[in-house]
Chains A and B, each alone.
Chain A
């Protein structure tokens, strides 16, 4: 079974700074997807970024980018030029065809606070 670990329960940075959230995962499969989801105080989970395991190029979405190290089973999220609206819980998650479609395995989350 896949497991996802986020070792940073909380992080805090100043607005406009760059912050990196860590995530490691464990899997014996070759084919899987990795995700970062954001959960603001409104509770609604929103997809931030997605990475396909067989793609070597790191995914980027505007200010958000990942550092995907497949051999090390590491999937960190970098937020550049952080904004107050980035304050939220961030969850790393994995999905694979063997564990089942639409069955996301989540990490414990990192609470990120952006200070003005």
Chain B
């Protein structure tokens, strides 16, 4: 079956702009999580959605937001981009039960200039 698909793969934005990243989970997976990966901070949890509801949120400013649609596809949005938002953004999908395997996409590389 198809894996987790993230689009776009690469993105270059200017400081102050906003950006929307998309994630299509594995068919049947209703949980979608987002992570930010940077060389300095490593992998940090952004938020998790299940059945269109945000169940959990990491310690990120309100400029970072997300949503999930009825087909489980998810988007995350970053407004008023800062240079420090440059990172690899990873999406993962999984079954609802905790402790199960998270399947990751290949990520979106965001560069803010």
Cβ-based interface call for A60 (8 A): no
Which A-chain residue is minimally distant from B33 (CB atoms)? A102
Category for how many chain B residues contact A: 20 to 34
Known A50-B101, A102-B94, A102-B102; 17 more pairs at CB < 8 Å: A33-B99, A43-B106, A43-B107, A44-B107, A45-B90, A45-B102, A46-B104, A95-B98, A97-B98, A102-B33, A102-B50, A104-B35, A104-B43, A104-B102, A106-B43, A106-B44, A108-B42
CB-contact partner of A91 in B43, B58, B88, under 8 A:
B43
Cβ-based interface call for B105 (8 A): yes
* Contacts from B to A (Cβ < 8 Å): 31, 33, 35, 42-45, 48, 50, 55-56, 58, 88, 90, 92, 94, 96-99, 101-107
Tally inter-chain residue pairs, CB-CB below 8 A: 69
Q: In the complex, which residues of chain A have a beta carbon less than 8 angstroms from the beta carbon of B48? A: 100-103
